[in-house]
Structure 1
Amino acid sequence: MKWSFEKLQGYQKEPFTEQGTLDLKADLLERYPQEILDATPFTVQVSAVADNGDVIIDADVEGTVTVPSSRSLTPFSLPLKFHFSEVYVNTKAAFNRYENEVVVIKVDDDGKVDFDKAVADNVIVQIPMQVLSPAERAGAKMPAGEDWEVISEADFNEQHAEAKQVDPRLASLKQFYADDDDKA
């Protein structure tokens, strides 16, 4: 979906609305090959309204992406359902009208709002930094290989605490260094 920025500026009293299905699989796989392995078409509902020469777009998006698990790299389906809002402006000076929390995008030189790109950008933002497959969330065995294994944070802390324990035969040496510190 691409719209003319000039056309969208005409929707001041009544919002421009559109709904449809976007097939972003090729774009997502090309732009984010490590993060996204597959994608279903996304259903979108869009509303755009002009305000002081700028265009505010609100969208609801729903679809599914296949992503690798952060722990084992096992692919699994991650359903996404989210809302996003963006403001499109035609000059760099217009950025100053908005606070830092507002997503403001300058329209391309061709004067078009590329909604497909906006949805793809927001899809990647919706994927959590740590994604675990349903089996991993349920407590499946951690991955392991030859001379290596993934352990939980609790297991790591337990091993670290055990390593700090002093051999009782060497405990008297601990006192030796403490006496030297007192004399200095």
Structure 2
Amino acid sequence: MKWSWQRLSTLDEPIHIHRTMALSHQLVSRDSDEILSASPVKVNGLVKYDFDKVVVKAQVNCSLVVPSSRSLVPVKLPLNFHYKEIYVKTKSDIKPYLQEHPEGDTVLTPDQNNEIDFEKSIIDNIILQIPTKVLSPKEKRDHIMPKGNGWSVISEDQYEHPKTAGHQKVDPRLAKLKYYFSKNNKKK
């Protein structure tokens, strides 16, 4: 779905979008390390021309299958989010718009053909919704950390407070120092 700036500037009424889109192939080919597959994407949106800018608002609902960030096992990741993008005619219009509207909107320009690609916008925003840390239900529940031959991943808490069977690890060369002050105290 693409719209030319010229077509959008002549609209009297906003364009309402209610569709289910098959974007799995595009999502996987765009980011194959992060997305293994995707369900059909349900989109409810609105596109309107508003005083030399185009406003795109959309509610997106889909499920992705992504690799666990610990074990790389496939994990189903449901997504349901809303986004808003503002399109201005040229790159030189971005800074003045942001100065007038400091709300933190995403401000973009049309592509080289002066078109707004709604499908690309949806794909971009889906990819932005993927968290950096994704765990399988079992990894969340059991706090499973990867390990191998002679190595294991430990949590930050385990790193900061190393314990073995309830006791802190002590370098064996320094173990005798543990009793140093107790012996000196008894002699006095």
Give the TM-score range, shorter chain: 0.7 to 0.9
Cα distance in structure 2, aligned partners of 1:35 and 1:164: 42
Alignment of 1:103-118 (within 5 A): 103-118=106-121
Indicate which of 143, 146, 152 corresponds to 1:143.
146
Change (3 A) 1:62 1:147: same
Could you tell me how far 1:170 is from its partner in structure 2?
Answer: 4.2
Alignment of 1:67-82 (within 5 A): 67-82=66-81
Could you tell me how far 1:70 is from its partner in structure 2?
Answer: 0.9
Instruction: Name the residue aligned to 1:169.
Output: 176
Instruction: Name the residue aligned to 2:122.
Output: 119
RMSD: 2.4
Identity of aligned residues (%): 38
Code of the aligned partner of 1:36: I
Secondary structure of 1:71 counterpart: coil
Could you tell me how far 1:46 is from its partner in structure 2?
Answer: 1.3
Alignment of 1:37-52 (within 5 A): 37-52=36-51
- TM-score where L is the length of structure 2: 0.81
1:85-137 deviations in Å (ceiling 9; x for gaps): 00112212210232262211110121221111111111111111111111111
Could you tell me how far 1:41 is from its partner in structure 2?
Answer: 1.2
Contact residue 11 and residue 48 of structure 1 kept, 8 A = no
Change (3 A) 1:157 1:164: farther
- TM-score where L is the length of structure 1: 0.83
Answering whether residue 11 of structure 2 is matched by residue 8 of structure 1, we say no
Secondary structure of 1:46 counterpart: strand
Structure 1: 5+ residue stretches without partners? 174-184
Change (3 A) 1:164 1:104: farther
Could you tell me how far 1:49 is from its partner in structure 2?
Answer: 1.6
